[in-house]
Structure 1
C-alpha cells in the first residue's frame, strides 16, 4: 500500500472567512464530493460530550458537514452509541437529552440525531472482520450499520487509556454497542455496588442469561452464567451495576482497531478530525482539564489510519502548554521524560498499538502525504 493523502488547514481566519468555511474547504479538497450520496443515508459519527464537559466539538461543525452531505443529495444524521459507564449518555433518552443540552438538535445541526444502538444499548449487529485477531465479529450499533455511507467527525484529544482519542477511537469504541464496549474494555464481567442497589430487579429482567438473582433484596451475579454483555449496566437506573475490570491498554487499542474495521469495511467512508481543545482526557468525562497543547487545525482523509498518524505527528511536534497536565508533568525535576506528549501526559498508555493493528488488518496505512489547503 502506498502513501495516503491527508489534507490540512489551520485555524487562522482572515476577515470574511469563518472556521466553518475552512472546514468545508478542507473536506472538498480531500474529495468528499467523490462519494455518491444521492438519496443515501449518511451516518455522521461524533461525540456529543458528557454533561459538564466543554471540550467536545461545537454543533456548528456538525452542521457544516451535514450541509455538505445534503448538497450532494445525501440524507445525513448524527449518531453515537450509548456508554458503558454510568453517566448522562447510558441510554438513548438520556443521551438525546444530553446532546440537546450540549447544543445538538435538528435546528443547530440541520439533520436528525439517532442513537446507534437503541434505547438500552442492545440494538446491535455482529459484523465479521476477516483479518481480526481479537474480535472476529464486533458488535456495532444497528443504525450505524444500516447507513449507506459513514463519516467520522472527530475531536482529536488526549486520552487516559489509549493515549489519544482520534478517528479510530471515535469509530471503534464509539460505534460499539454496550456489549461491544464490554468486549473491548474488559475481559471480565460486571459487578454490583450493593450500597446503590435498590432491588428493583430491572437488571435481572434485562439479563438474557438468567445470571442475576437476589439475596436480601440485593442483586447477585452468577458468573458461571454471565456472558459479560453489559446489558444490566444500561438497565440499572441507580448506577449500581458497573464494569470493574479494565482491559490492558495495548489489548484495548488493538480491539478498538478491529471494531473500526467492522464499521468502515465494504462501504464509502470519509474521516475528519479537528485538533483543538486538546484536553488530556476523553470527552466522556463530566469535566475537561485545560488543553495540553495549542490548537493545531483541521484534517481530512479517506484513510482513518493515515489521518490519526498525521494528527498525532502534529501534536508531537507542538509545544506543550505550561499550565496543563502535560506541562506540570514536564516541569517536575524528577519526571522521567518520554519525549512523547501523549506518554508524558498519561504515562500508562500504549497509543501506537492502535495504528499498528489498524494497518495490520488493512484499515489503512500509517504512511501519508500531508497537503495543506
Structure 2
C-alpha cells in the first residue's frame, strides 16, 4: 500500500482576501484533483447532510466549492449518502431528501443533483466483493454509489459512541452501506442491560428503530430483544447511567474492521479523492438530532 500525500491549509482568511470556499478550491486543485480523468464522468461526492436539529454538519458552501471544481474539469457531479438504520429524518429517501433540503442542500445551493445512494427504502444495493477481506466477503453498497465512475469523499471529524471518532473511513464505509450493509457491519455484538443500573427512563428506546428494546412496565426496567436487536449501539450512547454494555468485548473493534473493508469495497478499482475538514468537531456524530459545542478549535 502506497503512502498518501496529504495537503493542508488552515482556516485563516485575510481581509478582502479569499473566503474559505475559494481556499478549498485552491487546496484540492493543488492536491491534484485535476489528475483524475473527470471529463464526461459521473462523480459521486459522498457527504453527510446532517440530522434535523443538528447544525454541526458541513455547510453546503463546502460542497458547492467541490462541485464547481468537478464541473470545471468536465465531470458530472452529484451529492450522495445512503439511508440510516435508526429512527430520525434520514431513514428513507423521501425523508432523507427533505432533511437535506431543510439543512440547505438543494440543487440550487450546491450546483448539482442530490441522490440517495440506496434508493427509496434503503434496499437498492449492490454486493461488491472485498478482495482479501477477513471480515466481509461481499459488501452491500448503495447502487448509485457504485454506478459512479469517480468517488470523492467530503467529510469532517466528529465523535462517535462506538467508533471513537468518525472521519473519512466512517463516511465511506458505513455511509455507503445500504440498510442491510449497515446492519451487517454492526452484527458483531448485541448489548445487555444491567437492571441494577437501569433507571427506567426509556431514553434508549427512542433511539431503537428495530424493536430491539422492550420496556418491562412492572419492573420499570428496559430489556433487550436479542432477535430484533441489530447491534447498532445507538442505545449505548443514549444511556446516561452506564446501564447498557456489550457482552462481546471486541464488538467495537470488529465494527471498525468491517467498516474499513466496506471502505475498500467502495474505492477498489476506481479513481478516488478525499477531503477532510477538522471543523465543528462535536462530541457526537452528525446522525444525532442535536450537537454540543466543538471539543477543539477549528483547525483546517
Short-chain TM bin:
0.7 to 0.9
Q: Distance in 1 between matches of 2:213 and 2:160?
A: 26
What stretches of structure 1 move > 4 A for 4+ residues in a row?
192-195, 244-247
Distance 1:29 1:187 in 2: 41
Task: Tell me by how many angstroms 1:21 deviates.
Answer: 1.0
Gaps of 5+ in 1: 196-220, 231-243, 298-373
1:1-40 map, 5 Å: 1-15=1-15, 16-40=17-41
Shift of 1:255: 0.5
How many angstroms apart in 2 are the aligned matches of 1:292 and 1:193? 31
Question: What residue number does 2:99 align with?
Answer: 98
The alpha carbon displacement at 1:188 in A equals 6.5
2:173 is aligned to 172
Q: 1:269 aligns with which of 268, 272, 278?
A: 272
Whole-Å separation in 1 of the counterparts to 2:226 and 2:165: 36
The separation in 2 between residues aligned to 1:69 and 1:259, in whole angstroms, is: 25
Which runs of structure 2 are paired with 1:42-191 in the superposition (5 Å)? 42-187=43-188, 190-191=210-211
How far residue 163 of structure 1 moved from its aligned partner, in angstroms, is: 1.4
Deviation at 1:194, TM superposition (A): 7.1
Contact kept in structure 2, 1:124 and 1:177, CA below 8 Å? yes
Matches within 5 A, 1:138-287: 138-187=139-188, 190-191=210-211, 248-287=251-290
Aligned residue number for residue 355 of structure 1: none
For the aligned residues, what is the CA RMSD?
A: 2.4
Describe the superposition over 1:179-238 as per-residue Cα deviations: whole angstroms up to 9, x where unpaired: 00001112468536678xxxxxxxxxxxxxxxxxxxxxxxxx995xx9x7x9xxxxxxxx
Quote the Cα distance in structure 1 between the aligned partners of 2:188 and 2:10.
41
SS in 2 for 1:191: coil
Q: Give the 3 Å change call, closer, same or farther, for CA 160–193 of structure 1 in structure 2.
A: closer
Cα pair 1:186 1:245 within 8 Å, conserved: no
SS at match of 1:255: helix
Contact 2:149 2:271 in 1 (8 A): yes
Q: TM-score, normalised by structure 2?
A: 0.81
Q: How many residue pairs were aligned? A: 257
After superposition, the Cα gap between the structure-2 partners of 1:28 and 1:222, relative to the gap in structure 1 and judged at 3 Å, is closer
Per the alignment, in what secondary structure is the counterpart of residue 6 of structure 2?
Answer: strand
Unaligned runs of 5+ in 2: 191-209, 216-224, 233-245
SS in 2 for 1:294: coil
* In 2, Cα distance between equivalents of 1:154 and 1:105: 18
- Secondary structure of the residue aligned to 1:70 is helix
Query: 2-side partners of 1:150 and 1:94: how far apart?
Result: 24
For normalisation by structure 1, the TM-score amounts to 0.65
8 Å CA contact 1:187, 1:245 repeated in 2: no
